[in-house]
Structure formats: structure tokens, C-alpha cells
């Protein structure tokens, strides 16, 4: 058949992406299996992506664009370019268009939107356009007929039926050998992101999962996970597995069986995942399971701690306690698991004292685990979530009315600037300083192991040390070092384009793509 389908990952505002585009690889795998010629263009990793796009889109059957809210400017530019030069249908998918399907589809250059999971829906759309079945039967499809926009109901993919992602639909080695800002990448490692489950049953008011039909937890069986990981080791030579699940540890029995499988099959890998701090309790992530996890290779956990203030934790319905955060970091320390703790300040309703409680908690935790990685971000308002809808109701945040308004400077800044002053912050100056100095001290902005040049490593260490001192004493006056650091940091970020340019003195870019302050996920952004 060999009909060509082009899938595009837009550029990130700051730097090039260090992750392979897993969302496009997932959609592409199903199409590839059906015999389509799938081309993935990652504008976030290719400097000359415009030429590649022109070449690939010329004779494409359909073009798919993925889009996070932070990628919107580039996604629109790319879509406009394609529509200007070629008469090809364009479909948008991914988190942003899932949050705003009708608004996105109303754009003059977007023909279709696929809401939620696109693995099979994209295939069904392509088949429908070829005359096989009506558009109204494509799950999650949003389409226009004249002035009207129609939204089809979505359905969940059966994860057990999904094939292992074909990572080599892109030049996977260019990604898998890059170093991220993580413990595992302090040594030479070959890593891949891997998804074993989707969705999360919790109710945090800042999390997009609570609004995108993603609260239902869906999994691959332990047997399937173990077999897929065996293939990743054999086919791609991975030494580290990055589990990117929304919530890997929901089901204790499932985690046990997966870890047992890794141990019994003698897999020689390390792995990391995200975890809730309240799972560290008897009968869930207890000593028995933690032992098994570490025997099977667990070395690092990303933890959404969010705040040192119980009042704020309650406000955002995180359903955890400050003591649970303390217990979790202690347990990680005892089991030799590196905690990557993610905090946030600048939450509506948070008081100055709450910000200071967060700062003090970080100071306390890093005494328990001196190697702990941590970042403090300021809240980024992702509309659709309860917390942000409340800001909208109070007139403190205005949602854009069109897709294109999202790409205006005002909104782009909301989602890309490290420390953004917002009208709902009780003490913007303190929130801003805490966010900056803690993220620098916590090593999530730029870690030494990412820097090749000895001199630059020394300079980075000095900045980290001085931030550590500042944060220890909660002293945020005379911020001259901040300007110097910004200059130093930018100098590196500018050079992060091409993969592994050793002559630039940096082995790879940070895992958080630098557009986040916390550098870790499932935190308030
Ligand atoms: C790994 C990850 C990262 C990686 C790389 C992400 C990437 N590929 O760009 C890193 C660490 C770099 C990262 C960074 C950021 N991330 Co992130 N990340 C994730 C995470 C944990 C997994 C993404 C993934 O690979 N999923 C697996 C794939 C298979 O699922 P999927 O992406 O949902 O794709 C499916 C559907 O959405 C759909 N689909 C997607 N694209 C398309 C395209 C077409 C054409 C079609 C038809 C369908 C379709 O089909 C796919 C298969 O079913 C998600 C949370 C999550 N569990 O998804 C957050 C998540 C995507 N990140 C998020 C955010 C906010 C960020 C940052 C902005 C953080 C920050 N504050 O700086 C940055 C921005 C990065 C950027 N590129 O601009 C949010 C996005 C919210 C939003 N409204 O956009 C998420 C959802 C986390 C959350 N719950 O808040 N991230
Ligand atoms: S923040 Fe984490 S625990 Fe809360 S709903 Fe989102 S994924 Fe689940």
C-alpha cells in the first residue's frame, strides 16, 4: 500500500527535546502495522525541520500534529506552513487539543482533532477518509461540516492489545544515548521511555488527568510488560527503563508481578518511575515491595510533593500529608532510591507562610537525603482543571477564545517562563525567589554530570553552592548572582540543539526541557 502519513512534533519554545516523541511513535506503530508509510518529523530535535516537512508533506495522505499547551506557537506555525503549500488534511491530537477540541477544530487550518487516545482513532480516521466507514464512527474525532463542529464520543484503548511501540520509526539511538538530568544518566546508559499503564484515579485539582477522561486506570498485564521489556533489552540494548506512566504504583500486586518478572528473568537494567508519597505505607509500597523493586533495578522515584503546607495540600486535593512526604523521603534514603521531589509555589490561596513552610520542608528533607534532587516551580495555569477554572470564575485568569490566542506572547509566557508573576500570587517576589534558588540548588536546572568542561562544572557548582547557602538561611536579597547564572545557563541552552555535541562542553540537555521549573512531572505547572 505504502501511502504516506506524516506525524509531527512541534518545537518547544526554549530548547530541543531530549525525549523521543512517544505519542507519535504510539500512533505511528498502529499505522505502520497496517502498512502505511509513517514518517515522523520531530521539529523539537531537528534544526532543518522545515525542509524535511516540505519534502515529506508533498505527497502525504494526511498530516498529524501533536500538541502540548507549551508547544502551541510552533504547532500553529507548522500547520500554517503545511496548509499554505499543500492540499493535505491536517489532524491535531495530544493534550492541548484534548482539553480544547472544539476551539482547536474551529481554526481555519485544522481539519480534524482527535481527542484522548489516538492509537486506533488515527487509523480509523485514515480508513474513513478512504471511504471505509463514516466519520461519525471514529472514536474521539472532532470534525467540521459547514459551520458546525461535531464531537464523537471517545473510547478507551485496550492496552493489552497494543503492540510494543516501534521506537525505530525515528533515529532512536540519537535519543536513547542522550543523558538526562537524572541519576541513571550519570553513567553511560541506553534508555527508553516506556508506558505500562494509562490514567490515574486521584483527584488533584491542578492535574489535566482529572479533566481528560483519564481518571480510569488502564494497564498492560505484568506478563506483557515483562515480555516487552525483554524485547527492549534485546532489540535496543537498553540499560535503563524510564516508566512514564501517570501512576505506575496504583496496583501493588501488578507492580510485584512486574518486578518479580524482571528479577526472575535476570534483566540487567535499572528503572525509574513516578510515585505518590502516600503509597509508602504498610500493605502498599512497604519494605517488602521496596526491597523487591530495588532488586529489580529501581533507582529513582519522582515524587509529587507539591507543598510543605498542609493547608495548601488540602486546598489542591492532593490527599497527602506533610508527614507522608517526610516518611517517603526517609524510606527512599533507607532503600537507596534517589527521590526527585517536586514542589510548587504561587498557588491561589497560598499565603506567604505557606511558601516558607515549603522552603523549610525542602531544607529538612535534604538533610535526610543529601543527594535528593528537587525543584520548586511556580504554578502554570492549565485550564480545564478545577483550580484554574476557579481562577477563571474569579476573573483572575482569562482563557483564550481562539486557538491562535494561545500563541500570543501573553499566553506563551504563562506556559514557558520559569518564574512568572501572576495576579493570584500572595507574595510574587518570594514565590519567584524560592522557585529560582531552590531549583538551582536542587540541580534540576543544570546538573554537573551534564557538563563536559571542567571549568563550567566548577562554575555551576559555585552557583549551586551559593544557592544552597541562600536557601539554608532563607535569604533572597541582593540577587546579583541570579543575573550571572541566567547568562551562564542561557549560554549552554543555546547550544543544546544537535544531539551530543561534545565540543559544546555539554553532553546532553536536561530532561525537563528547561521549560519547567520543577523538572519533574505531575506537579502543579
Ligand atoms: C514524558 C513526558 C514529558 C517529557 C517529554 C514529553 C514530550 N514528548 O514532549 C518531558 C520531560 C521533556 C516533558 C516536558 C514537559 N511536559 Co510532559 N509529560 C510527559 C508524560 C509523563 C508522558 C508523555 C508521553 O510520552 N505519554 C505517552 C503517550 C503515548 O501518550 P500521550 O502523549 O497522551 O499521546 C496519546 C494521545 O494524547 C494522542 N495523541 C498525542 N499526540 C497525537 C497526535 C495525533 C496526530 C493524534 C491523532 C493523536 C495524538 O494519542 C497518543 C496515544 O494514545 C506526560 C503525562 C502522560 N502520562 O502522558 C506529561 C505531560 C504531557 N507533560 C506536560 C507538561 C505540562 C510538560 C511541560 C510543559 C512541563 C513544564 N512545566 O515545563 C514540558 C513541556 C515539554 C514540551 N515539549 O513542550 C503535561 C501536558 C499538559 C498540557 N496541557 O499540555 C502532561 C500531560 C503532564 C501532566 N499531567 O500535567 N514531558
Ligand atoms: S497529580 Fe498525579 S496523583 Fe494527582 S491526579 Fe495527576 S497523575 Fe494522579
345-391 confidence digits (pLDDT tens): 999 999 999 999 999 999 999 999 999 999 999 988 887 888 988 99
pLDDT over 90 (residue 456): no
Q: What is the DSSP pairing of strand 218-219 with strand 197-198?
A: antiparallel
Q: Are 118 and 7 in contact (CB under 8 A)?
A: no
Task: Mean pLDDT check: name the lowest of 16-20, 123-127, 220-224, 517-521.
Answer: 517-521
Pocket lining: 521 vs ligand 1, CB cutoff 6 Å: yes
Nearest bound ligand to CA 157?
A: 1
Radius of gyration of the chain (CA): 22
CA-to-CA dists, residue 97 to 93, 112, 123, 419, angstroms: 6, 10, 18, 25
DSSP-derived letter for residue 104 is: H
Q: Which residues line ligand 2 (CB under 6 A)?
A: 200, 202, 204, 207, 209-210, 246-247, 276, 304, 522
Answer yes or no: are the C-beta atoms of 103 and 402 closer than 8 Å: yes
Report d(CA 510, CA 18) in Å as an integer. 7
Structural element, H or E, at residue 147 = none
- Residues ≥6 apart with Cβ < 8 Å to 196: 219, 220, 225, 243, 245, 248, 258
Expressed in angstroms and rounded, the spacing between residue 262 Cα and the centre of ligand 2 is 26
Q: Looking at residue 230, what is its pLDDT?
A: 98
Cβ–ligand 1 distance for 244 under 6 Å, the answer: yes
Q: Answer for the pair 5, 31: CB distance below 8 angstroms, yes or no.
A: yes
Distance 210 CA to ligand 2 centre (A): 8
Beta strands 191-194 and 148-151, pairing class: unpaired
Task: Give the residue, out of 9, 10, 19, 23, with the most ligand 1 atoms within 8 A of its beta carbon, to mutate for a pocket test.
Answer: 23
Q: Is 91 helix (H, G, I), strand (E, B) or coil?
A: strand
pLDDT tens, position by position, 122-167: 999 999 999 999 999 999 999 999 889 999 999 899 999 999 999 9
Distances (CA, A) of 413 to 72, 380, 418, 440: 12, 10, 9, 20
Distance of CA 50 from the midpoint of ligand 1 (Å) = 23
| Helices 49-57/72-85 angle, 10° precision | 40
pLDDT digits (tens, 9 = 90+) for 263-296: 999 999 999 999 999 999 999 999 999 999 999 9
The predicted structure's pLDDT at residue 411: 84
Q: Which pLDDT band, with edges at 50, 70 and 90, does 496 fall under? A: very low
Give the ligand at the shortest distance from the Cα of 517.
Answer: 1
**Comparing 309 with 46, which gets the higher pLDDT?**
309
H helix or E strand, kind and range, residue 162: none
Asked if residue 503 has pLDDT above 80, the reply is no
Atom of ligand 2 nearest to the CA of 274: 2
Q: Delineate the domains of the chain, giving CATH numbers in brackets.
A: 177-380+418-504 (3.80.30.20)
204 φ/ψ sector (left φ>0, alpha ψ -120 to 50, else beta)? beta
pLDDT-wise least confident of 73-77, 380-384, 484-488, 520-524: 520-524
The CB density around residue 498, as the number of other CB atoms within 10 Å, is 12
Q: What pLDDT does residue 17 have?
A: 64
Q: Which ligand is nearest to the CA of 406?
A: 1
Average pLDDT over residues 3-13: 91
Q: How far apart are CA 321 and CA 327, in angstroms?
A: 10
Res. 489 pLDDT band, cuts 50 70 90: confident
Q: What is the mean pLDDT of residues 95-115?
A: 96
The whole-model pTM stands at: 0.93
The terminus-to-terminus CA distance of the chain in angstroms comes to: 43
What lies within 8 Å, CB to CB, of 153 at 6+ separation is: 139, 140
Q: Which residue has the higher pLDDT, 380 or 33?
A: 33
Task: Pick from 10, 22, 68 the residue to mutate for probing ligand 1's pocket: most ligand atoms within 8 Å of its CB.
Answer: 68
Amino acid at each position: 500500500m505504502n501511502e504516506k502519513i506524516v506525524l509531527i512534533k512541534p518545537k518547544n519554545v526554549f530548547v530541543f527535546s531530549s525525549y523521543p516523541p512517544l505519542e507519535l511513535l504510539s500512533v505511528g506503530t498502529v499505522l505502520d502495522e497496517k502498512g502505511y508509510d509513517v514518517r515522523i518529523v520531530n521539529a523539537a530535535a531537528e534544526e532543518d525541520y522545515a525542509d524535511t516537512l516540505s519534502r515529506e508533506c508533498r505527497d502525504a495522505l494526511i498530516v498529524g500534529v501533536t500538541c502540548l499547551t507549551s508547544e502551541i506557537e510552533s504547532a500553529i506555525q507548522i500547520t500554517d506552513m503545511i496548509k499554505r503549500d499543500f492540499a493535505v488534511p491536517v489532524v491535531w491530537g495530544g493534550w492541548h487539543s484534548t482539553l480544547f477540541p472544539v476551539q482547536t477544530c474551529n481554526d481555519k487550518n485544522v481539519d480534524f482533532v482527535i481527542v484522548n487516545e489516538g492509537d486506533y482513532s488515527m487509523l480509523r480516521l485514515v480508513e474513513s477518509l478512504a471511504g471505509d466507514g463514516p466519520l461519525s464512527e471514529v472514536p474521539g474525532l472532532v470534525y467540521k461540516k459547514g459551520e458546525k463542529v461535531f464531537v464523537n464520543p471517545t473510547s478507551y484503548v485496550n492496552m493489552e492489545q497494543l503492540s510494543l511501540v516501534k521506537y525505530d520509526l525515528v533515529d532512536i539511538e540519537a535519543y536513547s544515548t542522550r543523558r538526562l538530568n537524572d541519576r541513571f544518566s550519570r553513567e553511560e546508559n541506553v534508555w527508553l521511555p516506556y508506558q505500562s499503564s494509562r490514567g490515574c484515579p486521584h483527584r488533584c485539582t491542578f492535574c489535566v488527568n482529572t479533566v481528560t477522561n483519564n481518571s480510569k486506570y488502564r494497564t498492560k498485564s505484568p506478563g506483557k510488560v515483562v515480555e516487552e521489556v525483554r524485547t527492549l533489552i534485546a532489540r535496543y540494548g537498553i540499560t535503563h527503563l524510564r516508566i512514564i506512566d501517570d501512576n505506575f504504583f496504583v496496583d501493588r500486586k501488578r507492580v510485584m508481578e512486574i518486578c518479580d518478572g524482571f528479577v526472575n528473568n535476570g534483566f540487567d537494567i535499572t528503572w525509574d518511575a513516578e510515585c505518590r508519597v502516600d503509597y509508602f505505607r504498610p500493605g502498599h509500597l512497604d519494605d517488602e515491595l521496596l526491597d523487591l523493586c530495588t532488586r529489580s533495578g529501581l533507582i529513582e522515584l519522582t515524587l509529587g510533593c507539591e507543598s510543605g503546607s498542609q493547608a495548601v495540600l488540602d486546598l489542591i486535593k492532593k490527599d497527602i500529608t506533610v508527614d507522608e512526604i517526610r516518611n517517603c523521603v526517609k524510606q527512599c534514603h533507607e532503600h537507596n532510591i534517589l527521590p526527585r521531589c517536586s514542589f510548587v509555589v504561587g498557588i491561589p490561596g497560598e499565603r506567604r507562610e505557606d511558601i516558607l513552610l515549603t522552603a523549610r520542608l525542602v531544607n529538612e528533607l535534604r538533610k535526610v537525603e543529601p543527594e535528593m534532587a528537587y525543584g520548586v516551580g511556580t504554578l502554570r495555569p492549565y485550564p480545564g482543571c478545577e483550580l484554574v477554572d476557579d481562577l477563571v470564575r474569579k476573573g483572575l485568569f482569562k482563557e483564550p477564545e481562539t486557538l491562535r490566542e494561545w500563541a500570543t506572547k501573553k499566553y506563551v509566557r504563562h506556559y514557558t517562563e520559569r518564574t512568572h508573576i501572576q495576579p493570584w500570587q500572595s507574595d510574587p517576589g518570594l514565590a519567584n525567589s524560592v522557585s529560582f534558588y531552590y531549583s538551582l540548588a536542587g540541580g534540576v536546572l543544570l546538573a554537573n554530570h551534564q557538563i563536559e568542561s571542567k571549568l563550567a562544572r566548577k562554575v555551576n557548582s559555585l552557583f549551586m553552592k551559593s544557592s544552597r547557602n541562600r536557601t539554608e538561611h532563607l535569604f533572597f536579597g541582593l540577587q546579583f548572582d541570579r543575573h550571572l547564572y541566567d547568562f551562564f545557563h542561557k549560554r549552554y541552552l543555546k547550544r543544546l540543539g544537535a544531539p551530543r555535541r561534545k565540543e559544546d562542553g555539554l553532553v546532553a540537555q536536561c530532561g525537563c526541557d528547561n521549560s519547567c521549573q520543577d523538572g519533574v512531572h505531575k506537579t502543579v505547572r
